[in-house]
Structure formats: C-alpha cells, structure tokens
Structure 1
Amino acid sequence: MSTELILQAAERYREDMFQFLRDIVAIPSESGRERQVIQRIKEEMERVGFDRVEIDPLGNLLGYIGHGSTLIAMDAHIDTVGVGDLNNWDFDPYEGCEDDEIIGGRGTSDQKGGMASMVYAGKIIKELGLEGDYTLLVTGTVQEEDCDGLCWEYIIQEEKIKPAFVVSTEPTSCRIYRGHRGRMEIKVSTAGISSHGSAPERGTNAIYKMAPIVAELQQLNERLADHPFLGKGTLTVSEIASTSPSRCAVADGSTISIDRRLTIGESWEGALEEIRQLPSVAAAGATVEMYDYIKPSYTGLLYPKYCYFPAWLLEEDHEVCRTLEQTYVSLFKESPIVDKWTFSTNGVAIMGLHGIPCIGFGPGKESEAHAPNEKTWKSDLIRCAAMYAAIPGSYMHSLHKTQPHS
C-alpha cells in the first residue's frame, strides 16, 4: 500500500476528524464522569466501520478492527482534569475554539486529540483495505487522570487482553517517546499531644515534629538516583495538613503528601525506606506509607490500587521502536525525534508492571496538559491519523521479514 494513499486519506478526513474532536471536547469528562463521552466515541467508532465495539465493566471502551492473530493496541485516556479558574481561559474550555491551525479546549492535547486521530485511522484502514493478520484494538480508557494505569491493569488482569505492543497517543508533538519516569504517592504522619494553646509546653506539637522532616526531604531530593536517558528521581512535598482540637490548641497530628518520581533502578520499597531512614523521621516516630486509590468508576465498579506507578523504558533498538521510526520516515520523508515524556502515562501499567512493550506517538504538546487555554494542532491530528493507520501493517511486515522461512 502506498504511503501516499494513506496521507491522502488522512487529509481527506480532516474536517470529520476536527468536528469529532470538537464534539468530544464539548462533553465534560473528568475522572469518574466519562459515561457520556464514552458513548459518543462508541457511536463514532461504529459509524466509521469498526468491526466490534465493547465497553468493559470498568467503563473502558474497546474498539476492534480486523480479525488477525496478532493483537496490536493503541490507547487514549478520555478523562480530563478540571478547568480550574475560568478567569485564566480566553475561551470556554468545553465550547472550545478553532482557527486554521489549532483546536482549543479542555482535553484537546491531553488527550482526546489522540482518540480522534485513532478513530479516523481505523476508518482509513477499512477504506484502503489495510487489514492483515492483525487485530487492532483502540482503547478509550477511564480514570487515568486520577490513577494512571489503573484502566490497563483492569484490561490486562481482568479482561486477559495482552497485546504484542501498545501505542500510547498521549501528546508527544509527533515525536516518538519510548519511556518516562515512574511515580508514587507517599504519606508521612506525625503524632502529638494536644494542650491549650496558652500552655504549649504541656503538649507535644505534631507540626513541630514534622518541620525537620520537611527540611530533610528537601535535602534528600538532591541525592536521588539518576539515569542517562530518563533523568533523575525527584521528590517534593505536595500537601501538608494538621489536626487539632481547635485553633487555640497544640496540634496533635500532622501529615504531608510527597510526589515521588522514580527513575530506572529505583523501587517503591527503596523509596519508602530512604524516607524512613532520615534521622528526623526516626526521631519523630513518624509513619511512612503509600497512599491507595479507592474510587468507583462511572460504572460503579471499585478496583483498588496502591499509588505506585513504575518507570519504564523501551530499548532504542527494540522492534517496536524501529517500526515506528521506519513508518515515520516512510510517511513523512524525514527522521523522527526520539525522546521521553516528563509526565506519567498508562505505560506505567502496560510496560512498567506487565512488561508489554509500549511506545508513544501523539498529537499536541505535553506542555498543554492541564493548562488553561489548552489546544492541539490540526497538522498533528492529520499526521497521527496517518501514522496510526500505517503502524500495524509496518509492524507485521517487519515481523515477517525477521521470521525464518521453512
């Protein structure tokens, strides 16, 4: 199949793709409230010719094209964060905006744009007869913004779906991303004894016990492990809270939350132990533990998870990485940039926990994620639709080239 025909088809469906993106951006879909947008995407998948479309018990959307023996998946989470202070927006975040170059609105880069490109890649595959001995699974996943990877843990562990590899369509500016640091959410707690605020010497102030811990955590951040490609592990105190009988009493409890970013070679056990070994933590008798996530999906299903999301890295010479690079060159007649994400994605479960090769290629910019006036670029959407249509065939071709002939 000529790459030129794929590019022409992606260009031909540009207006349909843009309108579909405008439609799904207009449907608010914060984590736990995705039902309506899932139904709208399901409707579009069926309209453009997907062979089978299902919704699993967690609420993830699973759209299939083809009936071949090799399962290839492409993923977009379709939940978004909130819009924050509307005074920071120049336009309505759900009504959105559009001009010759961009489409604006909450979720356009993070990451409903990826979904729009995938759905129309499916239409291109069907129209041009690009099916082969593969099945393409396009997933619209839920609750990622609250708990990245939870959706794919459910897909892998409960639905028993294990693709040969997964393309994440999180924003990459049409670059190829092959990994990112992991993360975990940690809680540190100190206990005190309350007394009247007029006689603080009668009590033990839990906030005072926490203060040196915060200072030592700031120092620990400078000593964390580094990796030549993914970068350095980091930590930051993201929340602090306390309890007290009143504002006229000594605090009898204090907690902090830590956002811990993990690089290759770091483990959740090691990250907790580093904090437990701090002199201030030992002196305060503080407890150090991981948060867990227990929140029902829009279907009402509870699927609890510890808040640990491991780092992952696909090797540069991996067959999947080479396939995307070759596909890019074949389509666009230039070499791609290969890089990594700063933030976290569903890859933490797909490859980080389950070892299924994962790679990123998506429309929009990482810097647009969670920001006011979020936008994506029309040229990115078209390029990505072409890439997504071409990747399965390219992978199968490379697979057959490497298999020995009998």
Structure 2
Amino acid sequence: MSEVLEGKLIQAIKEITEALHDDMVAFSQKLIQTPSISGTEKELADLNIAEMEKLGYDEVFRDEQGNVVGIVKGTEDGPTIMFNSHMDHVSPGDKNNWEGYDPYGGLIDICKVDNQEKEPDEAECIHGRGASDVKCGEAMQIYSGGLLVKLKEKGFQFKGNYMFTGVVQEEPAEMVGMLHLIDKTLPAKGLTYDAMVSSEATSLKLYCGHRGRVEMLITVYGRTSHGSAPWLGINSIYKAMPLIEKIKDELYPSLPTDPDLGQASLSLNIIECSPGALSIVPDKCMLSLDRRTLPGETAEIAVAQIQKIIDELASKDPEFKADVKVKTAVETSYTGVSYEASKDMNPWKISKDHGFVKAAAEALESVGQTPKYGYWDFGTDASKTCGIDRKPTIGYSPMQEQYAHTPYDKCRTDFMKKALEGNVALFIHAAASGKEGFEKVEW
C-alpha cells in the first residue's frame, strides 16, 4: 500500500471525485456529440483547451499540428507523467446498425453490459462513437488534472507534473500526432516526460503492452493481353495464388508466440488488380498484409520473410516477379501539417515488476481497487512512448475494449468515477516513487 496516499488525502480525492463526477460525465457527452474523425479534430481540441482552462490547469497550449497539452504543476519538484488520449475517432459506419442510438448523441441510459465477475448485468452508460475509444477516458484524464488543482487549493502537497496530451490522427495508425508532439513540440517548449499512461480501453485494469503492426504491400507482376486471348498474357492474379498459399500455410503457422502478448499474426486484408477491366488480363496484383509483430521482431524482419518466399517462387518460375515494401501514407492535420508516414508501429511490453507498474498497482489498492492486468489486442500510440522511447508506459481507463469501433460503442459512468479516483492516486503515488519507477523499459 502507498504511504504517500494517507487517509486524509484519499478522503479528499473521493470527496472531490463526487463533486466533479457529473461535470466530467457531461463533458464526455459533449465530446461524443462533437464529430472528430481523423484530420477534423479542431472543434474537439477547442473544447479540450477550454475545459482545461476552466479547471485551472497551470499551462494549456496547442502545437502547430493541432495536438493539445495541459499541465498541472505539483507543489514539489518531481517527474512529469504524461496522461495521453487521442482526439480522433473512426467513422460511425451505417447508422442503421446502432439500434436506435445516435452515434453522435451522447445519450445516457441504463443498458445491458458485459458481465465482469460480480459486476451487475446492467449499468448506466454513455452511448456514441468514441465513447470507448477514447472520449470517456479523455474526459476522465482531463478531469484528473482538475481534481489535482482542487487538491492544491485545499493545501495538499504532491510531487511532479501532471501532463495531459490530446493528440491528433491516432486512428490511421502512423502515430504522426504522437511523434510530432514528443519529437518536436515538447523539446521546443523545454519539456520532457518520464512515463506515460494511456486512456485506451482497459476496463479499469493496468494494461502492460501490445503487439506491433506493420502494413506491407506486395505487388505481383504479369503482362496484359486481351481477355479473349489470355494465353498471350501473364495473369498476375494467378501468379499471386502460390504466394498467398505459402503465406497462409507456411509462414503464418511458423510465426513466434509471446507468453503475454500471444501469437504474432499475419492477415491478407485487401486484394486489388490493375488495370482492373473485365476484358484485360491484369498485369499487377496488389496484396495488402496486416502483420502483427512481437518484441524482437521488426518491419525489416517481416519484409524479409515475405521476400524469402518471393525469391523461392522466382527461382522455380521464370515468369514470377514480385516485390514487397512497407506501406506509407500522407496524413494532413486540421492545421495543415503533412507527414508521409511509414505504417510501422513497434511492439512493446512492460513487466508487472517494473517500478512504475508496481507504483500504479499500490495506488489503486489505496483507493479500494484490486489491481488486475491485461494486454491490448489492438495497437496504440504507446508504440512510440515505450516501443521506441522505452519510457515506462501503461494503460488505465474506464472503457471496455470490446465496444471499440462497434455500433455498440459505450462507456459505464460508474467505471468513469472509479477511474477518476484511481488515475489521480496513480499519478500522486507514482510521481513520489523513486527512480526505479522511471527506469528504461527492457524486454
């Protein structure tokens, strides 16, 4: 248990949580009611800035890419812990699938929820696109800073700096918002960070890692001819078939497994051909692969595995020609900043015995929560903070992963209340822990 989180402080955290809860929930509704598909986050960023200013953050600013940052300074020197959310969301899709809920309505009602051990089968929930990815977690993190402001006003002391960061363009999975924030904005402002807590969905558990993601494009080449005389051409689709079989039947089963993160995986998700006309034998067949990597694997390794199969097929078939590369995309923010980014996200994980994770668990125990652990199936911007920077990183959030990107998108308000208490306790205790809480992450 935490010695820093003594009785009076814990009681104050709980009392302020009660006072702020309704405003936090109302703010999360406002966020859901504000569409912010990637590249269109300006209005949502404006809301975040205004709310942090209203709550009394010591410093609030927006960078040139459109990311927002808010800082609450502790009463004593200490580490800076980043609490990160992304401001964009995916399309709501066909509104007919939402079973009566407006994806931008932010409606609150009592509804059925996935049961968790002794939890009830029904709970009060906020509905709408982004509720579970990540607008309710975003509201919770912003209000955590507001709770810390209230603690200071009551005379409580705590170390370090609480830094909320709301980044743009997370959903396309190139990390351009997070990369710009950490590599450009923070150094330019004379700021840094020592650890990160992500608001991605964790069901109040401490999440400790996820697989990486590499998107690869394979192009198989042929030669056009008239569709009425296919023997005069080389059909690139037919040439791609043995390659697909080898990827599915030989490469995928051979991929490694991690005891925490599960198996590395590979999925063929898009097949296209060119010229793409009914009367022309296609001379190009493009295969888009989603490769999920484990610690120790890199994009170079993933590409080399495909290249090996290409070389084997070419050695047996003089007409077989193909190449493979990591896909790139140009992403432009709502402020007009553009990046050509590689679709390559690093895998990462942090040990439950790392000082930062232990401090987080002790903090949750102090406010009456039983620490539990997990790992994401999907990827997050933590691929930058821990996968590249090797800074201690965890996830802690009221949202539930199974609702993300679905027409059942929702978040429990009782979980939001628990998360507000837990998040503030986590910051105070972790910031007060020794240097072992901020050691470089190894795996």
TM-score category of the 2 structures, normalised to the smaller one: over 0.9
In structure 2, the residue matched to 1:184 is 214
- For 2:169 and 2:139, how far apart are their aligned partners in 1? 19
SS of 2:90's equivalent in the other structure is coil
Paired residues of 2:128 and 2:409 also in contact (CA < 8 A): yes
SS of 2:47's equivalent in the other structure is helix
Q: Does 1:49 align with 2:49?
A: no
Q: Does 1:117 align with 2:140?
A: yes
Paired residues of 1:185 and 1:258 also in contact (CA < 8 A): yes
Paired residues of 2:356 and 2:436 also in contact (CA < 8 A): no
Q: Does 1:339 align with 2:346?
A: no
RMSD: 1.8
Q: Post-superposition, which runs of at least 4 consecutive aligned residues in structure 1 deviate over 6 A? A: 400-403
Give matches, 1:342-353, under 5 Å.
342-353=377-388
Give matches, 1:243-392, under 5 Å.
243-244=274-275, 246-278=277-309, 279-280=312-313, 283=317, 284-332=320-368, 334-392=369-427
- For 2:328 and 2:228, how far apart are their aligned partners in 1? 38
SS of 1:304's equivalent in the other structure is strand
- For 2:148 and 2:184, how far apart are their aligned partners in 1? 29
- For 1:133 and 1:281, how far apart are their aligned partners in 2? 62
In structure 2, the residue matched to 1:208 is 238
In structure 1, the residue matched to 2:229 is 199
- For 1:402 and 1:26, how far apart are their aligned partners in 2? 38
- For 1:328 and 1:281, how far apart are their aligned partners in 2? 57
- The amino acid that maps onto 1:225 is P
Aligned-pair distance for 1:62? Answer: 0.4
Q: Does 1:147 align with 2:173?
A: yes
- For 1:11 and 1:55, how far apart are their aligned partners in 2? 30
- For 1:257 and 1:202, how far apart are their aligned partners in 2? 28
Unaligned runs of 5+ in 2: 1-7, 111-123, 439-443
C-alpha change, 1:321 and 1:212, in structure 2 (3 Å) is same
Aligned-pair distance for 1:303? Answer: 2.4
Unaligned runs of 5+ in 1: none
C-alpha change, 1:162 and 1:355, in structure 2 (3 Å) is farther
- Mean Cα deviation higher: 265-274 or 102-111: 265-274
Give matches, 1:31-110, under 5 Å.
31-66=38-73, 68-90=77-99, 91-100=101-110, 101-110=124-133
Aligned-pair distance for 1:252? Answer: 1.2
SS of 1:145's equivalent in the other structure is coil
SS of 2:386's equivalent in the other structure is helix
Aligned-pair distance for 1:115? Answer: 1.0
Q: Does 1:5 align with 2:40?
A: no
Aligned-pair identity (%): 31
In structure 1, the residue matched to 2:3 is none
Paired residues of 1:275 and 1:281 also in contact (CA < 8 A): no
Paired residues of 2:85 and 2:134 also in contact (CA < 8 A): yes
SS of 1:13's equivalent in the other structure is helix
Aligned-pair distance for 1:399? Answer: 2.0
Q: Does 1:173 align with 2:203?
A: yes
